[in-house]
Structure formats: structure tokens, C-alpha cells
Structure 1
Amino acid sequence: MTIEGRGVQSVEVGGRILSALVKAGKPLMLRELATLADVAPAQAHAYLVSFRKLELVEQDIASGRYQLGPFALQLGIARLRSFDPLRLAGHAIVEFAEQIDHMVTIAVWGTHGPTIVQVQEGSDQVHVNVRTGTVFSVTGTATGKVFAAFMSPKVIEAQLAEELRKGARIQGVGTATSRKELEAEIATARKLGYASTESKPVTGINGIAAPVFDYSGQMQLAITVIGPTGVLDIHPESADAQNLLACTRRLSAQLGYMPHAIAGTVQAEFAEIGIAEAPVKRPRRA
């Protein structure tokens, strides 16, 4: 995001120092911090003295390393309290749907599985019966598969087992797949960062779904793009897939998500219940 207008250069330099501490995710020595912030060590030290007085930064006496302080934590908590994931995503998909000219939905995990809570039509209308309150299957839709790939298995396992047991008799939108097929699709979704369906569960309609995470690394919701086969491109290098990922990553960042801090957690949980990594299947071109 570009902000027009004249700012205060010293504040922006200080911001780079704080940003370097955030991105590092660990205490840093003065020279390390100065290098990451692209400032001279003497200049960084002067800023750090002021930041220590404000308790934005603290220094470990034994090691001399700097890390974020108590006031930085208070700022982070205040930020998190002021942002509701659904409200944030709801505003974002209005502009996003207009940008990509496709239907965009927001889904959360409900009592009976992935549940649509907002639908934003694009200028490219599709004849799909999707409305607020619609429940998607975990195994037969892009939305459901992204929950299967990225939400805690402890949350989804009961619903997943029920769908696999009932097969074609499930009530949600989409036909259930087998556990073996699902394992391969989960592996693909984790590799790509999104799940997709081609001409399923509605013939002639594609779907791409990506997760939005919060500061703790928990998946909060899924954003799904729905469009005609041959128009909505589900391929990893496509503009549609990349635009969706840019949208969800931006929302996750606004909720405090830091990927490097929680990498591998979900995969480890899936291994505990028997849904392991499987050979990756590359999605076909639309």
C-alpha cells in the first residue's frame, strides 16, 4: 500500500528497526539489527536507547541482544482486539470480487462443516446456488479441502470421518472422495497454499480456495473464488490463483500471522491422526 504525503523520516527509520526485530523473530545483536534495518550501528544504537525508554525494545543484560519489549506487546494486543476476522475479510472481498470479476465467498467452520457466511458476486455471473448458510462438504469442494489441509485435525476429523463413511449420501454440497484421494489433495493444497476443484461439484464450474490465519497460526476462514471452467484458471502460475493468495496472505498478515513462527504445526497434527503427507498431484490446467 502506497501512502501519499510527506512523512517524518526519523520515524520511518525507527520503523525499519522495529520491523527488523519483528521479521527476525528472535533477539539480535546490535550489528545484526543494524544490517537488517539498513542503518549504521551507531544510528541504530541511538534509536534503541529511545525505544528502550519507551519499553518498545528491551536488552538482555547477559547477552546484549535486543528484542521487542512490553509496550510492543501491548500495541500488538490492542491491534488484535480491534480487528474481527470476518469484518476484515468481508470488506476485502468486495473489492477483490470486483478486481477479478468472479464470485468470491467467505466460509467458516460451522456445526456441520464449512459454512458460507458471505457471498460477493463478480461481474462474471455464474449460475451456482451458493448463498449465506450453505454448507459445503469437506471432501468434495475446494472450500472443504482447504479446511482439511490447514485447519487443526482435532476440529475437522469427526466431520471428515462421517463424510467418508456416508460417501454419496452426505448432505453438504459436493460428493465425498476416498481417504487416499483426500491425502493426495491435502498434500497438494499444502504445497500450493490453496485447494482447487475443476468442474466439481458443479459441472462447468471451477473453484479455488485459500486459508486465512490469525496470529497464533490457526485457520480462521477460507476465501473461495468460483468461476466458469475455461475462465477461472486453477493452475498455480495463473493470475487467478496468485491474486487469491495475495488477498489471503494480506488478510493473514493483518491478523498478525507470521508463517515462520508456526511452520509444520498442522502437518504434525495430521500425522497424529493418520492423514500423512502423500505424493503431490499437480492440478490440471483449466
Structure 2
Amino acid sequence: MSEKVAGAQQPISLYSENDSEARLRIGGRGVQSVEIGGRLLKLLADASQPMMLRDLATQAELTPGQAHAYLTSFRKLELVEQDAASGRYHLGPFALRLGLARLHGTDPYRLASEAVIGLAEELSLMVAVTVWGTHGPTIVLVQESSNYIHANVRPGGMFTVTGTATGKIFAAYLPPKLVEPVIQAELQAAQKGWNNSGALSGEALTREIEKVRRDGIAATIDLPVPGISALAAPIFNHSGHLQLAITVIGPTPKIDVGLSGPHAEALRNFTRRISAQLGYFPPSA
């Protein structure tokens, strides 16, 4: 196999007659050359800066000649570009078009509504999907588990901002100009005798919202319904904007609301996965 790279006049042969490792394989196991090329694209997508050929080849477990051949084809498709001065590679304009097409064609509600079925069964807890509506957190889907839970949570219902785990998620991640009017309306209603068990206000509410931002998750115990506790976490889109809140709800003895407990970990993993499918990756990543 030739490994001439710079100024090569002859096409580089990727495969030899006996190269069973790299030969195209079509069938149940897929097309192996596409999977190999995908490794290079993933490396470029994950990289924080353009990469040298030798580094790409090493990390993709290819020879430089093999990696160069893939990258040459990707350049023709505009999936990859090469900087003329440094020779480093980075993703090209067609990769951006693919990403945008994926984002524009992805419905956050559809993704979440299909996935919460498995989450509810995994945890044996009720799962609610909530959006921000005209009057605050509005339930759009409730997924029961195999263990029925007696909680008055129904599609079309509302969660309070000041007294529920779900509400705290919206208070933590939405612009204050959206949330503040709802908070004030809830507090005024409470002063008039409207039951809002566990509602927070003033400095206590501010501290709780800051805590939710730090932890990335919110919890309530025996609130607003005695004997029922909940955990809630956010789903973000590619721009980092809050799209949905996912809430797991269950009898207090059956749900672990510890922020490092197994239920919190499962919920975090779930919302991170859906957020990643929407194109969101935390800055720390």
C-alpha cells in the first residue's frame, strides 16, 4: 500500500487483496469503510481546534496514508476542510449543513415523549414532561409506570413555580422577565388564601434557584402533596435554551430525592442524552 501523501500523483490504495481488516463489508455489520471514516469525522467534531493528519491517523488507529485518503474524499464532499497554511483539518461547510438539517428536523417533545416510556419503567415512577405555557409550567405528557401512583398530575395541568421541583427548573433557566410575573401572581394568590404548600419567596426562593443552577436538578419532599416527592431536570436545545422539564414523581418512601442518588443520576443521564440529541453540550464538555 502506498503512503505518499504530499503531492501524491498516484491514487492511494486503501485496501490490499488480503486486507480483511479494512475491506468493505456490506451486510448486517454495515459498511466498514464508512464506520472508519466516521471515526475521523467524530474526532474532528470533538476536537477544540483543527487537527494534524498524524494525530487524526493515530487516534483513529489508521496509517497516515489511509487517513489522508479518507480526508481527501471528505474534502471533495466539503465535509472537511484543510487549512492551507498549517495543513490542519477541520469540519467543512457540508458538515454544518448536515448538523443544521438535523437540528431543524428534530422535535424536542417527540424525542422526550418517546424516551420517557423507558425512564418510567426503569425507575417505576411517574414521569411528567412540562413546557412553559402562557401561565407558567404546563404539563403536556404524563407517563405512568407499571406501579400506579396516586398523584393529581394530568396533561393540561399546571405546576407552580414557587412550590414544585418543576417550577424551580423554569425559574432557574428561563429569563426573569418571563418567570417573575408568574411568581408574583402565585405569591399574591397565596396571600389571598390560595393553597400553595411549600411556596418559597424572597431570599429563600432566590437561594433555591441558585442552588438548582449549581446542581442542575431540583427536588421537593412531601410537597406540594404530602407523601409525594419529585425530582426535575432541564432539557436544553442547541442554543442552550430551556425546552422542557422532565419530572419523576413518586411516593416519598419509593423515590430517592438525594441529588447524588440513583434516581437523580438516572434523570440527569436522561436529560443530558436528550439535550445532546438536540445539539446541546454543556460548556464544560
Q: Tell me: CA distance 1:179–1:36, structure 2 relative to 1, closer, same or farther (3 Å).
A: farther
- Name 1:190's counterpart in structure 2: 213
In the TM superposition, 1:128-139 aligns within 5 A as 128-139=151-162
Moved more, 40-49 or 84-93: 40-49
| Letter in structure 2 aligned against 1:223 | I
CA gap of 1:131–1:37, structure 2 versus 1, over 3 A, is same
User: Which of 56, 74, 80 lines up with 2:79 in the alignment?
Assistant: 56
1:84 maps to which of 107, 122, 145: 107
TM-score scaled to structure 1, two decimals? 0.82
Q: Is the 8 A contact 1:206 1:229 kept in 2?
A: yes
Computed over aligned residues only, the root mean square deviation of the Cα atoms, in angstroms, reads: 2.4
Q: 2:90 aligns with which of 54, 67, 73?
A: 67
Q: Does 1:9 align with 2:38?
A: no
Q: Give, in whole Å, the separation in 2 of the partners of 1:136 and 1:91.
A: 22
Superposed CA offset, 1:6-25 (max 9, x none): 12222112111111222224
* Length, aligned pairs only: 259
Conserved 8 A contact 2:218-2:232: yes
Question: Are 2:53 and 2:89, in contact at CA under 8 Å, matched by a contact in 1?
Answer: yes
The worse-fitting range, judged by mean Cα deviation, of 142-151 and 23-32 is 23-32
**Unpaired runs of 5+ in structure 1?**
264-286
The Cα shift of 1:137 comes to 1.2
- Whose Rg is larger? 2
* 1:28 pairs with 2:36: no
Q: Tell me the SS of whatever aligns to 1:22.
A: helix
Q: Any conservation in 2 of the 1:135–1:172 contact (CA below 8 Å)?
A: no
CA positional deviation for 1:96: 1.7
Question: Which residue of 241, 247, 270 maps to 2:270?
Answer: 247
The 3 A distance-change label for structure 1 pair 20 and 174 is farther
SS in 2 for 1:58: strand
Q: CA deviation at 1:34?
A: 3.8
Structure with bigger RCO (C-alpha 8 Å, 6+ apart): 1
Rate the CA distance shift 1:208–1:10 in 2: closer, same or farther, 3 A: same
TM-score (norm 2): 0.82
Distance 1:154 1:44, change over 3 A: farther
More helix per residue:
1
Query: 1:226 and 1:120 mapped to 2: Cα distance?
Result: 10
Q: Counterpart of 1:259 in 2: which secondary structure?
A: coil
Aligned partner letter, 2:113 = G
**Which residues in structure 2 correspond to 1:89-100 (within 5 Å)?**
89-100=112-123
Aligned partners of 2:185 and 2:51: how far apart in 1? 49
Uncovered stretches (5+) of structure 2, i.e. residues with no partner:
1-26
Q: Does structure 1 conserve the Cα–Cα contact (< 8 Å) formed by 2:136 and 2:182?
A: yes
Please, which of 120, 123, 138 is the counterpart of residue 143 of structure 2? 120
CA distance in structure 2 between the partners assigned to 1:230 and 1:25 by the alignment: 45
